[in-house]
Amino acid sequence: MRKQGGGGNVEVFRITGARQGLQEDVRGRQRRYVISMSIRTVSVILAVSLWNVERHVAFVALVLGVLLPYVAVVIANAGRENAPGLPSTFVSTPGTPMIEPPRADRAPAGSPVREERAAQEERAAESLRED
């Protein structure tokens, strides 16, 4: 939490809306890249070993081995993911309610509020009589 000067407003951040850490994100992208390159290596070895046995399976494996590096690099360099489904990370704090002045009818007898209210009513009555 960070307190702002002045009005006493406090910013509150939700941890549920936080992104995953940068190191964790990079580690996940590296893991996906290594898995993709491992599949590519297996498909190239499979293409070489099946070339004289099953040529159409070897051709499919070779195409997979050629296309996978491009796909793996695009996925690895895609950058950090945005999480649009998560709630907002900022929660606004409710404003401080204004304290209302005490009402004259609820003020105790002899209090300045009740006396001021009585004086106002008397002045209003006098101005009506003069008219």
Same domain, 125 and 85: no
- Same structural domain for residues 17 and 39? yes
22-50 vs 55-76: helix crossing angle, rounded to 10: 170
Q: What is the pLDDT of residue 2?
A: 47
63-66, long-range: CB within 8 Å, 24+ apart, which pairs? Answer: 64/39, 64/40, 65/40, 65/41
3-state secondary structure of 11: strand
pTM of model > 0.75: no
**131 and 81 share a domain?**
no
Per-residue confidence in pLDDT tens, the chain, 131 aa: 444 445 556 666 666 656 677 888 888 888 888 888 898 899 999 999 988 988 898 998 889 888 888 888 887 777 666 655 555 555 566 666 667 665 656 666 667 767 777 788 888 888 877 76
**Cβ proximity of 43 and 62 under 8 Å:** yes
pLDDT of residue 33: 86
Residue 98 lies in a domain: no
Report the number of distinct structural domains present in the chain.
2
pLDDT at 24: 85
pLDDT score at 74: 83
Q: Tokens 């709630």 — which residue?
A: 87
Indicate if 12 and 68 belong to the same structural domain: yes
Q: Are residues 50 and 113 in the same domain?
A: no
Residues 17, 74: one domain?
yes
Q: What is the DSSP string of 91-118?
A: EPPPPPPPPPPPPGGGSPTT-HHHHHHH
Same domain, 112 and 55: no
Residue type, 6: G
Owning domain of residue 127: 103-131
